[in-house]
Chains A and B, each alone.
Chain A
Amino acid sequence: MGNKTPLYQAHVDAEARIVDFGGWDMPLNYGSQIDEHKAVREAAGMFDVSHMTIVEIKGSDAKPYLQYLLANDVAKLTTEGKALYTGMLNEDGGVIDDLIVYYLNDAHYRVVVNAATREKDLAWLENVAQQFDVSVEERSDLAIIAVQGPLAIEKTQSVFSDEQKQAVAELKPFVAAYAGDLFVARTGYTGEDGYEILVPDNKAAELWAQLVEAGVKPCGLAARDTLRLEAGMNLYGHDMDETVSPLEANMGWTIAWEPEERDFVGRKALVEQKANGIPRKLIGLVLEGKGIMREGQDVVVNDDVVGVVTSGTMSPTTSKSIAMARVQRSVDAEEVLVQVRKKQIPAKVVKPSFVRKGKSLI
């Protein structure tokens, strides 16, 4: 028996297939993961992501603490609700986790980290916090519902009060706002527009039911994975981990090199890596033959194994097999072979962003 979110009973009542995910009993699908995937691309779907860990960072050193802790620079955040995506690195420049940090004020930030990495993340946050006047508090009293898709905003607002509608009316992408007892962020993990809504535990089931009533389709973790992969978004523990630097995981854009005097954990290692040559890179692949690429399969060029698939699937939007693979940086072929089970099948090398806003990019 794993941990259960406040929406667990709603999933069981909807006959979801429940699986263990990072110690949580979560819905994998509610029938067809392809139908759920398409609902998000074409209309609106929602995910229970209450298993993710919300942490409040408070104190007079909140800003310098996060500037040291994170590879991206929270100094970029100056207005309430503004969000930043970043890696949290170790001294070797490896990714401990990827996370989103929301600015509330200079002495209060809200951080959302992955569920599967909760223990080590909290330990690391606490460890680094010792050098700062800052408190690290987990918020286990909040659930998170992600509503995603071209109709997500419209349908979500249809269950809001007038005050709540007004609070989110002008919300720009990657910004959050309080709306009554909700904290509504215009963020997501699908490549579609939508909200991620932090809601008090005891109100989560009611909000979920209202959204179902408004025509938002419940979607499980299986659809979440195919959606994020189509969007070219990394999944921690698969596309990057502590042995991989952000420079090897398409996360170079999340490293704030300026100002140069800002030291952050892992900076020295990243500077050295850049100077000595980054050994590997993360590429996108589209299979040209029949089959489905899967995590762990070898990538082959001229009979040499040059890398490995880190995430692979059949893409429901494009009906092609797509993947991300980490390969030697020197690989510049337009086509590689992937060892799919017993066969080597050609795959086209592409930028790892396969679908955006419902449209295929491949």
Chain B
Amino acid sequence: MSQIPAELKYVSSHEWIRDEGDGVVTVGITEHAQELLGDVVFVEVPEVDEDVDAEDEIAVVESVKAASDIYAPVAGTITEINEELEDSPELINSDPYGDGWMFKMKLADAGDLEKLLSAEAYAEEIADE
């Protein structure tokens, strides 16, 4: 069973969201998602200052095996990207909830956080897969 930290929020497309306060969140992909992908070898992250809508395809994580689109979990503006991933995409495998984070964004509406899945709800979703 893969790890699903209780303090994070999730979406069913396997991104996790950490509330950093002040309407800013950090986004990455879950341990379950990286297990499905296998060895990650290429990551394309969005651009800083890009405005995105919820469910926009804004990044790509590619393993040796397959490419997987990453969706904006909420609407907002990209404020920071994880530049380490360009040279070390494998951080997504080794530390998906830590050094493997993908980007930070400022929420358009802080209330959107309430719409995301809890750890428990996400665990139920992947158990049904």
Q: How far is the CB of B64 from chain A (nearest CB, A)?
A: 5
Per-position 1/0 for B28-70, Cβ under 8 A of A: 0000000100110110100000000000000010101111000
Total contacting residues, chain B, CB less than 8 A: 13
Whether A33 pairs with B60 at a CB distance below 8 angstroms is: no
Interface string of A14-40 (1 = CB under 8 A from B): 000100000000001100111000000
Closest to A294 in B: B67
The answer to whether A33 and B67 have CB atoms under 8 Å apart is no
- The 8 Å CB contact of B64, one of A17, A226, A290, A341, is A226
Minimum distance in angstroms from A321 CB to a CB of chain B:
8
Chain A count of residues within 8 A CB distance of the other chain: 16
Partner of A314, one of B35, B60, B62, B93: B62
Do B65 and A33 touch across chains, with their CB atoms under 8 A apart? Answer: yes
- Note all chain A residues with C-beta closer than 8 A to B65: 33, 222
Shortest distance in angstroms between B36's beta carbon and chain A's nearest beta carbon? Answer: 9
User: In the complex, are the beta carbons of B42 and A33 less than 8 A apart?
Assistant: no
Determine how close the nearest CB of chain B comes to the CB of A15; give it in whole angstroms: 11
Give A314 to B38 CA distance when docked, in angstroms: 13
Residues on B with C-beta less than 8 A from A59 are none
B62 proximity list for chain A (CB < 8 A):
291-292, 314
Pairwise interchain contact A290-B42, C-beta atoms closer than 8 A: yes
Q: How far is the CA of A290 from the CA of B65 in the complex (A)?
A: 16
A226 to B60, CA, bound (A): 21
A313 contacts chain B at the CB level, 8 A cutoff? yes
Q: Which residues of B contact A341 (CB under 8 A)?
A: 60, 67
Residues of B within 8 A of A34 (CB): 39, 41, 64
B60→A32 contact, CB < 8 A: no
Q: Is A316 an interface residue (CB 8 A)?
A: yes
Residue among B35, B44, B62 with the highest chain A CB neighbour number at 10 A: B62
Main secondary structure of the interface of A (DSSP, over half): mixed
A222 in contact with B38 given A33-B65, A292-B67, A294-B67 (CB within 8 Å): yes
Q: Which of A244-301 contact B (CB under 8 A)?
A: 290-292, 294
**Do B39 and A33 touch (CB < 8 A)?**
yes
Q: Which residues of B contact A28 (CB under 8 A)?
A: 38
Q: How far is the CA of A32 from the CA of B34 in the complex (A)?
A: 12
With a cutoff of 8 Å between Cβ atoms, the chain B residues found around residue A226 in the complex are 64
Taking a contact as CB atoms closer than 8 A, the residue among A17, A29, A222, A292 that contacts B41 in the complex is: A292
A294 cross-chain contacts in B, Cβ below 8 A: 66-67
**Given that A222-B64, A222-B65, A341-B67 are known contacts, is A33 also in contact with B41, CB under 8 Å in the complex?**
no
List of A residues within 8 angstroms of B64 by Cβ: 33-34, 222, 226, 313-314, 316
Q: Which residues of A contact B42 (CB under 8 A)?
A: 290-292, 314
Residue of A whose beta carbon sits closest to that of B35: A17
In the bound assembly, the distance between CA atoms of A291 and B43 in angstroms comes to 9
| Complex contacts, A222 vs chain B, CB 8 Å | 38, 64-65
Chain B residues with Cβ below 8 Å from A292 are 41-42, 62, 67
| 0/1 string, A191-232, CB within 8 A of B gives 1 | 000000000000000000000000000000010001000000
Q: From A314, which residue of chain B is reached at the shortest CB distance? A: B41
Q: Which residues of A contact B41 (CB under 8 A)?
A: 34, 292, 314
Interface residues, chain A, with chain B CB atoms under 8 Å away: 17, 28-29, 32-34, 222, 226, 290-292, 294, 313-314, 316, 341
| Sample (15) of A-B pairs whose CB atoms are under 8 Å apart | A17-B35, A32-B39, A33-B39, A33-B64, A33-B65, A34-B41, A34-B64, A226-B64, A291-B42, A291-B44, A291-B62, A292-B41, A292-B42, A313-B64, A314-B41
- Besides A28-B38, A292-B62, A313-B64, 19 more A-B contacts (Cβ < 8 Å) are A17-B38, A29-B38, A33-B38, A33-B39, A33-B64, A34-B39, A222-B38, A222-B65, A226-B64, A290-B42, A290-B44, A292-B41, A292-B42, A294-B66, A294-B67, A314-B41, A314-B42, A341-B60, A341-B67
Interface residues of B (CB under 8 A from A): 35, 38-39, 41-42, 44, 60, 62, 64-67, 93
Q: Top 3 A-B pairs ranked by shortest CB distance?
A: A314-B41, A34-B39, A292-B62
